Structure formats: structure tokens, C-alpha cells
């Protein structure tokens, strides 16, 4: 797939850990969920404010939550890599094989990519500067609301497709 | 406006919009799920 070797992203060390220590997979799952809570919870709070909920709170009071979302994203990526690189120990399938056949895994990655593009658009257009100074009871511009709505739908979708991955294998 | 300066009517409208948005999103997700699982290629 994509000209990559079929054992791309496979780690015998992680497989060994998962196969030998039964706690590695559930502990990784727990930290994956904590990462999701931090990431999606924070992003949802910011998106909902942009969409007009909790308008009494100035956006600048919520923006300092962003580092928690970054920490959540890092937790999700690290634990997600445990699931991908050690997949063989769980379902006897190579990561590239799973990526090729699992429509839900593909949808999750597509949604992550779209959420990333949405975040880049938000950050590197004048919208972010306009939102940063959004005062209490002030309405966000329509362009920001579209991006906030897209972000909310994409992140909810990422969680949804993630839960369905086992059914796509 | 309420005691906190929040316009309640606007706030209800915002909740309604978010509710409709999420209902539409979940409908789409469920439709895609059925398509992936039950419609053969």
C-alpha cells in the first residue's frame, strides 16, 4: 500500500510487550480515552463558545485550556501507536493490512486529516485573531461558526469511527 | 437578558443549532456505518 513495505509500522518489541504483559493493552486504552477526554472535551468547549453557547464567557478565558488539548492529542498519538505497531499481538494482522481493509480505520484517519486542515485554516486565517478577542456576549463571525461546527462534527466522528475499528477488520 | 448578561433566547437558539448539527452528523455516521457493513461491494 502506497509503495510501503508490508511490515511498515510493525514493532516486534511492542508485540512482545502486549503478548507478554496483559496489562499493556488495557492501560494503553485507558490513557487513549483520557487523551480523548482532554482533547475532545477542550475542543468541544471552545467550539461550543464559538457556536454561541456560554456566551457570557469571553473566548480569552477559555483559550488557556488549549495546552490540555495538545496533551490529550499527544496521549492519543502515543497510545494509538501502541495499538497500531503491536496489532499482531491482538488480532494477528499487520498494520498496513488493517489500514487497507478497515473502512472505519480509514474514515478515522480521513476525519483526523480534515480536522487538522480545519485547525490550520482556523489558525492561519484572520478568523483566529478575530476569535481571540471575542468578548463576553459577543457573537462569533459566520466563518468561525462554520469552522467550529466542522470541528465539533469531525471530532465526534473521530471518536465514533474509532469505536467501530474492530468491526471493520 | 438574564442576571449574568446572557441573552437566553439566543442561547436557546444556539443549543438548538448544535442539537440539529449533531443529530444530522450522527444520522450521517449511522448511514455510512450501515453502508460499510451491509452493502456488499
As to burial, measured by CB atoms within 10 angstroms (0-12 exposed, 13-18 middle, 19+ buried), residue A111 is buried
pTM of this structure: 0.91
pLDDT at B16: 95
The label of the residue with cell 461491494 reads B41
**Angstrom distance (rounded) from CA B26 to CA A137:** 29
B35 confidence band (pLDDT: 50, 70, 90): very high
Q: What is the pLDDT of residues A63-107, one digit of tens each?
A: 999 999 999 999 999 999 999 999 999 999 999 999 999 999 999
Q: Any CB–CB contact under 8 A between B40 and chain A?
A: no
CB contact under 8 A, A168 and B11: no
Range(s) of the domain holding residue B22: 1-41
What distance, in Å, lies between the first and last C-alpha atoms of chain B?
55
The pLDDT value given to residue A7: 87
Q: Which residues in chain A are contacts of B32 at CB distance < 8 A?
A: 107
* Integer Cα distance of B11 and A99 in angstroms: 42
* Structural domain count of chain B: 1
List chain A residues with pLDDT less than 70.
1
Q: Do A160 and B18 touch (CB under 8 A)?
A: no
Query: Is A7 a member of any domain?
Result: no
In a domain, A69, yes or no: yes
Q: Are A45 and A38 in contact (CB under 8 A)?
A: no
Give backbone dihedrals phi and psi of A124, rounded to 5 degrees, phi first. Answer: -100, 20
The 10s digit of each residue's pLDDT in B1-33 is 455 555 666 688 999 999 999 999 999 999 999
A1 falls within a domain: no
The three-state (H, E, C) secondary structure of A62-81, written as one string? HHHHHHHHHHHHHHHHHHHH
Q: Which residue out of A57, A146, A157 would a mutagenesis test of the B interface target, given it has the greatest number of B Cβ atoms within 10 Å?
A: A157
**ipTM for this prediction:** 0.88
Taking the Cβ of residue A160 and every Cβ of chain B, the question of whether any pair is shorter than 8 Å is answered with: yes
pLDDT of residue A3: 76
Residue A6 lies in a domain: no
Which residues constitute the domain of residue A108?
12-168
**What's the total number of domains in chain A?**
1
Work out the minimum CA distance from A1 to partner chain B, whole angstroms: 20
A22 Cβ contact list (under 8 Å, min separation 6): none
Confirm whether A84 is domain-assigned: yes
Contact between B21 and A107 using a beta-carbon 8 Å cutoff: no
CA-based nearest distance A22→chain B, Å = 30
In A64-141, where does DSSP find H-type helix? 66-85, 87-91, 95-101, 103-123, 126-132
Amino acid at each position: 500500500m502506497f509503495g510501503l513495505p508490508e511490515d511498515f509500522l510493525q514493532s516486534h518489541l511492542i508485540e512482545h510487550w502486549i503478548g507478554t504483559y496483559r496489562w499493556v493493552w488495557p492501560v494503553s486504552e485507558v490513557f487513549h480515552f483520557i487523551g480523548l477526554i482532554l482533547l475532545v472535551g477542550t475542543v468541544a468547549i471552545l467550539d461550543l463558545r464559538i457556536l454561541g453557547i456560554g456566551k457570557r464567557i469571553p473566548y480569552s478565558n477559555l483559550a488557556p485550556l488549549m495546552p490540555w488539548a495538545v496533551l490529550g492529542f499527544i496521549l492519543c498519538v502515543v497510545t494509538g501507536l501502541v495499538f497500531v505497531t503491536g496489532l499482531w499481538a491482538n488480532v494477528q494482522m499487520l498494520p498496513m493490512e488493517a489500514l487497507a481493509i478497515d473502512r472505519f480505520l480509514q474514515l478515522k484517519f480521513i476525519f483526523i486529516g480534515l480536522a487538522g486542515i480545519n485547525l490550520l485554516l482556523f489558525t492561519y486565517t484572520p478568523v483566529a485573531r478575530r476569535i481571540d478577542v471575542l468578548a463576553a456576549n459577543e457573537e462569533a463571525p459566520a466563518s468561525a461558526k462554520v469552522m467550529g461546527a466542522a470541528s465539533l462534527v469531525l471530532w465526534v466522528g473521530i471518536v465514533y469511527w474509532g469505536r467501530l475499528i474492530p468491526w471493520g477488520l | 437578558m438574564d442576571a449574568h448578561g446572557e441573552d437566553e433566547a439566543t442561547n436557546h437558539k444556539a443549543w438548538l443549532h448544535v442539537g440539529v448539527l449533531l443529530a444530522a452528523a450522527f444520522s450521517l455516521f449511522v448511514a455510512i456505518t450501515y453502508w460499510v457493513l451491509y452493502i456488499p461491494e
